[in-house]
Amino acid sequence: MAFNKRVKIKNLLTEDFLNKEVSAMGWVRTKRSNKNVSFIALNDGSTIKNFQVVADPNQIDDEILKKCNTGACIKVRGKVVASQGAGQQAELLASGIEILGEADPEKYPLQPKKHSLEFLREIAHLRVRTNTFGAVFRVRHALAYAVHKYFNDKGFFYIHTPIITASDAEGAGETFKVTTFDLKNPPLDEKGNIDFKQDFFERETNLTVSGQLEGELAAMGLADIYTFGPTFRAENSNTTRHLAEFWMIEPEMAFYDAEDNQDLAEDFLKYVINYALENCMDDLEFLNKRAEDEESTKKADQRAEMGLLDRLKFVVDNKFERLSYTEAIDILRNSNPNKKKKFQYLIESWGADLQSEHERYLVEKHFKKPVILTDYPKEIKAFYMRQNDDGKTVAAMDILFPGIGEIVGGSQREERLDKLTQRMEEMDIPTEEMWWYLDTRKFGSTPHAGFGLGFERLVLFVTGMGNIRDVIAFPRTPGNAEF
Ligand code: 4AD
Ligand code: MG
């Protein structure tokens, strides 16, 4: 018989297996024993719910039972019966238990007690075995699936853009270099600079900060495309919202203007959040409770106004507020925290870049709902954004979410060759090296638009976790690349 003829616990909890003989496998969460019987709470990752194994010491060898402690991995054969105890419908009456992998209770770092999230980050190789992280990663999976489903259903094509590139799409210069040079002894040119012509790619390369530029090329033939891949930013931001390696979803659409882009982004966000509500309720209820417990440790004025589930439903059911950067600056300039000098960065004049304190004020205090901010000053946005007729602003949009701040950044793109070239020159973007990008504006150019959704920021929002390091399995942040 095949080893893995197991039934997942998720399925064992349905009525289909009642009174049937099955094999279950999983990790022991806890064991309670008295003289007559042992109760083992088994979890196999398929659901947040544990399955209760009932082991009779007359049936199961004492040596085996002793090894069924927290963390051990076991295989249990037995009959599924209606449960006598409260809290579960069914349980497994063990006729045989096999130890697949022992866990020495003296040494196993994960105990049934509550560990702090900080501690669990240090044992990220084991934290997936906790309720919290099991829930987070199941929800993360469902969201990733919903992303693909949304775009597939709309006739978008998934494009895999390169991870190694020679360009810095966002122009922020925060790239990780890719080279095969011996760092102690790189070849130099006549001027004494590192001679990248002798490097693997015969040019300077880096890990991508965005798949957008290549996504635009694809949209100029396939019309509606999206990317969903890893992106890398060497910004030294030690915040609860930044990763050095994160996943981004970037749709790019030909024949879209700024308003079409906003409509799509809002519809897309609502769809994926609603997908989680419809498919992950067990996990979300657990995370809702977890967030509630965490909130209750905060001071009253710092608590979120809504619980996690209410917040998710609220976002799905309400229209996002749309306003221009210029209108937002007026609101911020006249806001209480600005007048009372409570903002760390005071808003004095038009042109100021918005910090997350400003974004969160607009979303959490002023509008109390997601906000789509549009038409930013061109000076604070990337070269590829379409220039508006006022000569000052570009057709940018940022979507701001409660508790998160910026979750989406996007724009209508500059499709006019002369305007684009001029802007690139102004911003010192090398036009010769970007000949391929400019070619799309020379040949068959058309209005087009797109945006980027930071996947971990979405998972952060949907799971109600407080730190982005807790929604990706193995986070990469400054000083941290363990595991
Ligand atoms: O606003 P950004 O920089 O936009 C772009 O990269 C565009 N090329 C997108 C496009 O138009 N196709 O990044 C997009 C989103 C942000 O709104 C944020 O959610 C996320 O990516 N993001 C990060 N997430 C985690 N850690 C970081 N360091 C992030 N930087 C950006
Ligand atoms: Mg941005």
Please answer whether residues 32 and 18 qualify as being in contact, where contact means their C-beta atoms are separated by less than 8 angstroms: no
Identify any residues that bridge with 78 across adjacent strands, giving them in sequence order: 22, 94
Q: What is the pLDDT of residue 303?
A: 83
Tokens for 180?
Answer: 């095969």
For a ligand 1 pocket test, name from 248, 356, 461 the mutation site with the most ligand atoms within 8 angstroms of its C-beta: 248
Tokens for 305?
Answer: 């106004």
Distance separating alpha carbons of residues 199 and 207, to the nearest angstrom: 15
Please answer whether residues 447 and 411 qualify as being in contact, where contact means their C-beta atoms are separated by less than 8 angstroms: no
Nearest ligand to the CA of 458 is: 1
Distance separating alpha carbons of residues 441 and 426, to the nearest angstrom: 18
Distance separating alpha carbons of residues 408 and 269, to the nearest angstrom: 10
Whole-number Å distance, alpha carbon 420 to ligand 1 midpoint, is 22
Which tens digits make up the pLDDT trace of 87-113? 678 999 999 999 999 999 999 999 888
Tokens for 89?
Answer: 């419908």
| Run means of pLDDT, 10 residues per run, the chain, 483 residues | 85 93 97 94 97 95 96 97 81 96 95 92 97 98 98 98 91 90 96 96 96 98 98 92 97 98 98 98 98 91 88 96 98 96 95 93 95 97 97 98 95 98 94 95 98 98 97 97 94
Distance separating alpha carbons of residues 39 and 90, to the nearest angstrom: 13
Whole-number Å distance, alpha carbon 455 to ligand 1 midpoint, is 9
Question: How far from 325 is each of 355, 392, 394, 395, 420, CA to CA, in Å?
Answer: 13, 12, 10, 11, 22
pTM of the model: 0.97
* Cα end-to-end distance, the chain, whole Å: 35
- Is any atom of ligand 1 closer than 6 Å to the C-beta of 170? yes
Which of ligand 1's atoms lies nearest the C-alpha of 250? 12
Please answer whether residues 226 and 251 qualify as being in contact, where contact means their C-beta atoms are separated by less than 8 angstroms: yes
Atom 9 in ligand 1: residue holding the nearest Cα: 452
- Is any atom of ligand 1 closer than 6 Å to the C-beta of 381? no
- Is any atom of ligand 1 closer than 6 Å to the C-beta of 229? no
Name the residue among 410, 388, 387 with its Cα closest to residue 399.
410
Which of ligand 1's atoms lies nearest the C-alpha of 452? 9
Distance separating alpha carbons of residues 244 and 232, to the nearest angstrom: 5
- Bridge pairing between strands 51-55 and 73-82: unpaired
Which of ligand 1's atoms lies nearest the C-alpha of 404? 19
- Is any atom of ligand 1 closer than 6 Å to the C-beta of 406? yes
- Is any atom of ligand 1 closer than 6 Å to the C-beta of 13? no
Nearest ligand to the CA of 410 is: 1
Residues in the chain: 483
For a ligand 1 pocket test, name from 236, 457, 465, 477 the mutation site with the most ligand atoms within 8 angstroms of its C-beta: 457
Atom 30 in ligand 1: residue holding the nearest Cα: 242
Q: What is the pLDDT of residue 1?
A: 57
- Is any atom of ligand 1 closer than 6 Å to the C-beta of 354? no
